[in-house]
């Protein structure tokens, strides 16, 4: 389904659509330290552009933020979440969270990220995670 630019949440608030990419290799997860709000360590993620499919946004965001190519993916969750107000001032986001298999070499996007690296679960527990990613890591039982 192609996504509209802005939707309405269950309680009638303006809502954006977002994708998140859970990328894990050998027990380590790929996280970025975000330059732009909402701040914190997070998986690769971003808004779905108007008219774009969630899967297209996933492939585009992974490429933009990490330089990696998505080889395969599986949808883990789709749901409304209101943990973050994004830089466009919208509080509610409808998230599509995918588990991804990637190929290529990590390349930092210096406009979007202070850093990008692989972290063990023990390391992730000590990081200042962006709220929605803290929620997803907890929900999945990873931390």
CA distance 42 to 118: 11
Give the residue closest to Zn ion by C-beta.
86
Residue 132 makes contact with Zn ion by CB under 5 A: no
Least distance CB 77 / Zn ion (angstroms) = 17
Nearer to Zn ion, 86 or 143 (CB): 86
Out of 16, 61, 97, 132, point to the residue binding Zn ion (CB under 5 A): 16
Specify the residue, 90 or 97, whose C-beta has the smaller distance to Zn ion. 90
CA–CA distance from 8 to each of 19, 80, 108 (Å)? 17, 10, 34
Rounded to whole angstroms, the Cα distance separating 67 from 85 reads 26
Is 86 a binding residue for Zn ion by CB under 5 A? The answer is yes
Residue 86 or 106: the one with the smaller Cβ distance to Zn ion is 86
Q: Does 90 bind Zn ion (CB under 5 A)?
A: yes
Strands 28-34 and 14-25: antiparallel
Map the footprint of Zn ion across residues 22-51, applying CB under 5 A.
none
Least distance from Zn ion to the Cβ atom of residue 38, Å? 10
- How far is Cα 92 from Cα 96, in angstroms, rounded to an integer? 13
Residue 20 burial (10 A CB sphere; 0-12, 13-18, 19+): buried
Matching residue, tokens 């992730």: 124
Which chain residues interact with Zn ion by CB under 5 A?
A: 16, 86, 88, 90
């Amino acid at each position: 389904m192609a996504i509209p630019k802005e939707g309405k949440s269950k309680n009638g608030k303006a809502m954006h659509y977002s994708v998140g990419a859970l990328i894990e290799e050998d027990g380590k997860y790929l996280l970025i330290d975000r330059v732009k709000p909402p701040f914190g360590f997070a998986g690769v993620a971003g808004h779905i552009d108007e008219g774009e499919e969630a899967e297209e946004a996933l492939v585009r965001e992974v490429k933009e933020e990490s330089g990696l190519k998505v080889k395969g993916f599986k949808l883990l969750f789709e749901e409304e979440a209101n943990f973050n107000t994004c830089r466009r001032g919208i509080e509610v986001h409808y998230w599509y969270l995918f588990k991804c298999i990637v190929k290529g070499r990590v390349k930092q996007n210096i406009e979007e990220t202070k850093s990008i690296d692989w972290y063990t679960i023990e390391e992730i527990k000590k990081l200042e995670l962006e709220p929605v990613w803290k929620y997803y890591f907890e929900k999945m039982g990873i931390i």
